[in-house]
Structure 1
Amino acid sequence: MKLHLTREEFLALWRTHRGYTPSVCGDACVQRSDGMDLDSILMAEMEEWYRKLLLEADESLLAPEDIAADTAMPAPSGGSVTIHLPPGV
């Protein structure tokens, strides 16, 4: 099963899997006093997991999309090219 989640939906799911949702914790309260935001820590974990998935997962586990029709490659300028990707990429 392949899920298509927004960043907020993914964070909510990640919180649940880590045990940081009210329904999992009951009346527990999670607080940090070192200036770090718990969501920032969870987002870093998510991004690392996703980066590893993209690098190491079997292709059948990914959901590639052909974006060639939505992009254009301009002529090189100064030996480099900037390609503008469509929204959502």
Structure 2
Amino acid sequence: MAKFDHRSDKVVAWDKKPDGRWIEAEIMWNLGGKPGTEGFSVYAKGAGTLKTKRARIPEGRAVAIRMCVWKPGRTDCSAWHYGRA
């Protein structure tokens, strides 16, 4: 699960799976183009792990967030979820 908090530019990612697979929240924002020209990833490993990362995103910019689960031999990612800072 990933969430973008528009009020404080925070991204929260956590992993509730007991098997310890890596959960990755990828956050991208744009500089006038499509989301993806800038961004970072937030990682959470292990059940109940909570990570928070702040992003300095210019107001009004489009933001895209997706979650990825690393599995042996492949990575499964959710669709991009779009918002606006």
Bin of the TM-score, shorter chain as denominator length: under 0.3
Q: Normalized per residue, which structure has more helix?
A: 1
The structure whose RCO (Cα within 8 Å, separation 6+) is larger is 2
TM-score between both structures, scaled by the size of structure 2: 0.18
TM-score between both structures, scaled by the size of structure 1: 0.18
Larger Rg over CA atoms: 1
